Structure 1
Amino acid sequence: MSVPNDEWLVVIDRQKVFAESDWSDWACPNGSFHTTDAAFSALAKAYGDRVAYTRYVAPTPALNAWVDYFKDWPQFLVPPDDPMYDLTADTAALAVGHPVVSKDTFGKWGDELAQAIDGAKRIALCGVATDCCVITTALAAADAGVAVRVVADACAGSSPENHQRALDTMALFTPLITITDSATVLG
């Protein structure tokens, strides 16, 4: 396995709230979160020290448009250290020793993530949800001049259809954003 030595893996929001459908309305449906486990694990191991993780946390307090948003989702308006926002156990185990960036926005790209990846200008993205936090991160990173590869089989969406729609939308931004799979990335 070999990945480009100037590319970082950014793992988007592999958290309990998006994985555990028995209690979370935000979880990827029908266990689809877990269909990405093997690809994610292989990628995280292959990138070695060049992996950063992100976590979505609710804004405290919710302001502006987020006030109306959380009227529909009050159960998720909890402090950032609430266990629902913890990384899943397998993700947390691989994240030890790596930067973890927590943001109260869907898109995770910004100064904090750029610093976490040492200013790298190439990233591969995996995680959830393809049609929310992955796409908003990919677009913002690409706008900042970062070459983005989205590893489709290591991402899951709010539905299979929305996952595909998001991939199709991001593909419109080729060559800034490239859609790929873990077999290709891992060589």
Structure 2
Amino acid sequence: MRSPGHAACSPPSRGAPSSRGTSPLPCPTAPGAPTSTSGRSRSYPRTTRSTLAGLADVAASGAPVVTRTTFGKWGPELAAATRDAGELVLAGVATDCCVISTALAAADAGRRVLVVADACAGSTAENHQRALEVMRLYAPLIEVTTIEGVLGTATP
């Protein structure tokens, strides 16, 4: 089993405030939340909502929260929060925006990055796949993997 660095990333002041005064997760109607073809916000699917709730628990547990107003979350704060980790494990929304921006910047800084494909979602299924293919071009610094690959166990 790998020992990845963990940090919860969040946009500034979106959703319910945490004990740190920032939101550990975007709310479903925040900018960046999935939108319908009419441009109106729509809710995340049930499976995504349960995953987001689980990530809220990680953030509430005292894991570092990195708040950046950029698409990519790699920067001095995330580098410091994961400084002793051999690998940076990324999961999130949207694969074709925030995830790829963070992965490329971290790899450019020399960090090995694992992108957990089945723990990410793109703006569309096609854009998700395209972003994963682009990130695969950056091997060996970026590896596209699965939840099972990271945890080393079968998932239910």
Instruction: With the length of structure 1 as denominator, give the TM-score of the two structures.
Output: 0.61
**What's the counterpart of residue 135 of structure 1?**
100
Say if 2:139 is the partner of 1:178: no
User: How do 1:20-99 residues align onto structure 2 when only pairs under 5 Å count?
Assistant: 25=39, 31-32=44-45, 34-36=46-48, 89-96=53-60, 97-99=62-64
Q: Take 1:127 and 1:26, find their aligned partners in 2: how far apart are those partners? A: 21
| Counterpart selection for 1:15 from 12, 15, 26 | 26
Q: Take 2:40 and 2:82, find their aligned partners in 1: how far apart are those partners? A: 28
Closer, same or farther: CA 135–11 of 1 in aligned 2, 3 Å: farther
Say if 2:8 is the partner of 1:4: no
Q: Deviations over 1:28-86 (max 9, x none)?
A: x7845x54566x5xxxxxxxxxxxxxxxxxxxxxxxxxxxxxxxxxxxxxxxxxxxxxx
Q: Take 2:59 and 2:150, find their aligned partners in 1: how far apart are those partners? A: 20
Say if 2:156 is the partner of 1:145: no
Residues 151 and 182, structure 1, Cα contact 8 Å, conserved in 2? yes
Moved over 6 A (4+): none
Instruction: With the length of structure 2 as denominator, give the TM-score of the two structures.
Output: 0.72
Residues 115 and 145, structure 2, Cα contact 8 Å, conserved in 1? yes
Q: Take 1:10 and 1:94, find their aligned partners in 2: how far apart are those partners? A: 8
Shift of 1:15: 1.6
Residues 12 and 128, structure 1, Cα contact 8 Å, conserved in 2? no
Q: Take 1:30 and 1:145, find their aligned partners in 2: how far apart are those partners? A: 36
Shift of 1:11: 4.7
Shift of 1:106: 0.6
Residues 11 and 127, structure 1, Cα contact 8 Å, conserved in 2? no
The RMSD of aligned alpha carbons is 2.8
**What's the counterpart of residue 53 of structure 1?**
none
Residue segments in structure 2 that go unaligned for 5+ positions in a row: 11-24
Q: Deviations over 1:96-153 (max 9, x none)?
A: 1111011011111111111111343411100111000100000000011111110001
Q: Take 2:103 and 2:78, find their aligned partners in 1: how far apart are those partners? A: 12
| Matched pairs, number | 133
Q: Take 2:138 and 2:56, find their aligned partners in 1: how far apart are those partners? A: 31
| Counterpart selection for 1:162 from 115, 127, 134 | 127
| Counterpart selection for 1:104 from 52, 69, 83 | 69
